[in-house]
Amino acid sequence: MTVYGEIYGPGIQDMDYGLAHAGYRVFDIKVNGRFLSFDDFAAACAFWQVETVPLLYKGVYYDGLVEEYTNGNSIAAVEPVRSKFKGREGIVITPLVEEWSEQLLGRLILKSLSADYLDRKGAQDNA
């Protein structure tokens, strides 16, 4: 089993999310070389009481969906946020059931970064 997660907060990037100490959230789990479906992932994290990255949307794709969720204020932040950047980094887009294609991208998983995140001044990633 491989658990994939993200460390975030003060000292990790130039964003503190209002945290006094760094935090950790899981975003994926692979068992025997295969990634878990969303429902199995959610069940495993709930069973082991592991905090996951925030789920912004689960449902049918529609025009404007990616843009709507990529931008905006951070939902991971707690007040008071001391860093200058208070926005959303972006989103990760995955199917509910794992998809793989050798001809296309390999594993189907996409990331959309917000323009505000990419344009922030003095950006740092210390991880």
The alpha-helical segments, DSSP class H, found in 49-109 are 65-70
Q: Do residues 17 and 76 lie in contact, with contact meaning Cβ atoms separated by under 8 Å?
A: yes
Per-residue pLDDT tens listing for the chain (127 residues): 999 999 998 888 888 888 899 999 999 999 999 999 999 999 999 999 999 999 999 999 999 999 999 998 888 888 788 877 778 889 999 989 888 888 877 888 889 999 888 888 666 655 4
Q: Establish how many alpha carbons lie within 13 A of residue 25's alpha carbon, considering only the half-sphere containing its beta carbon.
A: 10
Q: Do residues 49 and 26 lie in contact, with contact meaning Cβ atoms separated by under 8 Å?
A: no
Q: Residue 26's pLDDT is what?
A: 96
Q: Do residues 37 and 96 lie in contact, with contact meaning Cβ atoms separated by under 8 Å?
A: yes
